[in-house]
A and B are shown apart, each in its own frame.
Chain A
């Protein structure tokens, strides 16, 4: 015992570096918890920035006719909403959770490369600043869609080079973050934390990080060619010089399809981490979950052209990409059945994280099914570029990724700050979100099937009713999210809040190393690797 105490004293001696004072704490920090916090706060701010853009879109679409904004600005809003939400909100939020949780989940003292960790956060801020600055430029922000298809995007005004360089900075940020995550997971695990004992959130992030390193340079290359086509006389995407605009689409979607899985795989991982705790059962089919994640990641690289069925591909291409895409339903189905089986006959309770997680399973499955519909090439010819696709990917991103991010916030916040959140308010937040998100996106299926194109500021009168309903849902959803901010601030300040116990959730310590630490978590954790590894999640 005394030897252990001496050992602790020793390690304490080395790690007794508190944070720097004032604002410098955040600028120069190398602590994974500080950096995780910065990522999460930044993501939350961007969630509201992107959300405001979405509400501008929905306000314009509330009625047919031109109401508030001119078409060019409307298109800027659809473009910037997507860029901000993808690169500023969802991805950074998951990186924030990764920073906070991966070292704690695998029993590591910090991330493997702490200085680079700091740099990847600030590089993200720089990238978002660069892209946001285009809103105030001559010619406006990019308005050709987040996919930046040439030749349209080459007509962008002064914003184009800024957008291209923003993509470069965001790419560098993501690659550095991903390298850090891989090195942490492969090199920093506690001795007894073997790969097949890792929590699913860690597993999915390992695979996601691999995807990021593989695809971000591809996007960087694609936008570099846009830049040279516009400013340096190259002809990559210009048929007159022997190039082909469709080449850009192939390169973009080689990046773009894995990119959407970058946003969904950590979602899967977080759901797989949350559901067993509240079902009070081990995760059903742990190893099949790992293999399914790997399979989805592999498939994501060989299905890209299903985004461009109407571009005029050879029939063999259409068929190949159609069948390959359908294969994704198999590992995804494995996951959905595993989550359901985990809950089956579990002693379930329905705290807010669990409510969000269950809503995720149901609503993501719907988003998955509409994806399957569009995987069928001849059918997709009707759906392509309609509101049906808008409904589809919003179902996989909002009630899936965003809901799970909320679930993760409620799940871990008490552990981080040592106070319980207001369960009543949080449930109200959940029900408002879950109902309004369906009012918001479900009607868009009907609009798409009826033929309403996406990315238009005005529409034929027959689309009026569902657009109005969708817009009402959008405003309820958007304003309900302010509740989350209120609940988080209240929990952090801790006034009138219950203190959180060390395990926070009943028997959570059986499910993961993070619940064996005190609440609130000390600034440095696991200076010496833990002896025991919980295995209830297996």
Chain B
């Protein structure tokens, strides 16, 4: 708990500029890589390295300051607001791809097959979903069914939401054991999800002919599930850090923003998956 009634204003920060340099190197490297430049890959690795060092350093600093009681109630509110609005921006990011899926399925694909456009340009094209368009871009493919790995993954993520909340209850009730067990379960379920999704992708590419290049179905399928999978990875890594901090005895029932922020993020990832399961796999 804070012993200081003043709002903590840090003086001079070196991590932000390091992070900017890292991210810029990473992205400039990626751009060079895409353009076929030989320095691209090296720049990417270097940039990623700098960025990861920044993340580790900055978050270590934050946790040291937090444990030293430098963050009072007001600082905690600022952090919570920051996390909430960050998650809101993430929701808007996913909304773009959900919106693209909606627009494609309900507007542009039917237009491609209607009696004006379709019958004139592509008489043989049937505007059904899933589709890879009148050009059969990417060749024959089999769409991904809902009730195989995706359904198991849904169960995994939903249970991980429960274990995460169970861990939170443990933290609030000062049951350190329950906190750690809950977090171990959440992190394990999260990484298991990622492994199963990797298997699902592997099957799609090797057995079903379904790739990122399989027309607009492949595009929306892999971009939505791919960005979500990336977020699961990030969330699981964050929770792993929280797990280590819990092991070291960090967090009190009053002061545990980092746990809360991570849990909010995890629930957000969970809810996005439900949207994916319904709109990408089921409907």
Pick the interface stretch among B96-104, B178-186, B200-208.
B96-104
Evaluate contact between B93 and A118: CB separation under 8 angstroms: no
- Taking CB atoms and an 8 Å cut-off, the chain B residues in 1-56 that contact chain A are 6-7, 9-17, 19-21, 23-24, 27-28, 30-31, 34-35
Residues of A within 8 A of B218 (CB): 234-235
The yes or no answer to B140 lying at the interface (CB within 8 A) is: no
The yes or no answer to A213 lying at the interface (CB within 8 A) is: yes
Evaluate contact between B135 and A27: CB separation under 8 angstroms: no
Q: How far is the CB of A119 from chain B (nearest CB, A)?
A: 3
Evaluate contact between A179 and B86: CB separation under 8 angstroms: yes
CA distance A27 to B9 in the complex (A): 17
Residues of B within 8 A of A242 (CB): 104, 108-109, 112, 131-134, 137, 215-217
Evaluate contact between A235 and B132: CB separation under 8 angstroms: yes
Evaluate contact between B133 and A228: CB separation under 8 angstroms: no
Report if A119-B108 is in contact (Cβ < 8 Å); known contacts: A11-B6, A28-B12, A234-B219: no
The yes or no answer to B74 lying at the interface (CB within 8 A) is: yes
Residues of A within 8 A of B68 (CB): none
Pick the interface stretch among A80-88, A91-99, A146-154, A181-189.
A181-189
Closest to A108 in B: B7
What 0/1 readout, one digit per residue, does chain B (56-72) give for beta carbons within 8 Å of chain A? 00100000000000000
Evaluate contact between A241 and B16: CB separation under 8 angstroms: no
Evaluate contact between B10 and A114: CB separation under 8 angstroms: yes
Could you say which of A125, A158, A165, A184 has the most chain B C-beta atoms within 10 Å of its C-beta?
A: A165
Evaluate contact between A233 and B138: CB separation under 8 angstroms: yes
Residues of A within 8 A of B17 (CB): 27-28, 118-119, 122
Q: Which of B15, B24, B58, B213 contacts A233 (CB 8 A)?
A: B213
Evaluate contact between B82 and A162: CB separation under 8 angstroms: no
Evaluate contact between A236 and B13: CB separation under 8 angstroms: no
Pick the interface stretch among A69-77, A216-224, A399-407.
A216-224
Evaluate contact between B137 and A235: CB separation under 8 angstroms: yes
Total A-B pairs, Cβ < 8 A? 218
- Taking CB atoms and an 8 Å cut-off, the chain A residues in 176-234 that contact chain B are 178-180, 182-184, 186-188, 213-218, 220-222, 224-225, 227-228, 231-234
The yes or no answer to A536 lying at the interface (CB within 8 A) is: no
The yes or no answer to B115 lying at the interface (CB within 8 A) is: no
Q: How far is the CB of B277 from chain A (nearest CB, A)?
A: 20
Measured CB to CB, the residues of A under 8 A from B are: 11, 14-15, 17, 20, 24, 27-31, 109-110, 112-116, 118-119, 122-123, 125-126, 129-130, 133, 158, 161-162, 164-165, 168-169, 172, 175, 178-180, 182-184, 186-188, 213-218, 220-222, 224-225, 227-228, 231-236, 238-244, 246-247, 250-251, 254, 527
Shortest 7 CB-CB distances between A and B: which pairs?
Answer: A221-B96, A240-B135, A242-B133, A233-B213, A119-B16, A244-B108, A242-B216
Listed by A's residue number, 12 A-B pairs whose Cβ atoms lie within 8 Å are A30-B12, A126-B20, A133-B28, A161-B31, A161-B35, A162-B31, A179-B81, A184-B78, A239-B133, A242-B112, A242-B132, A242-B217
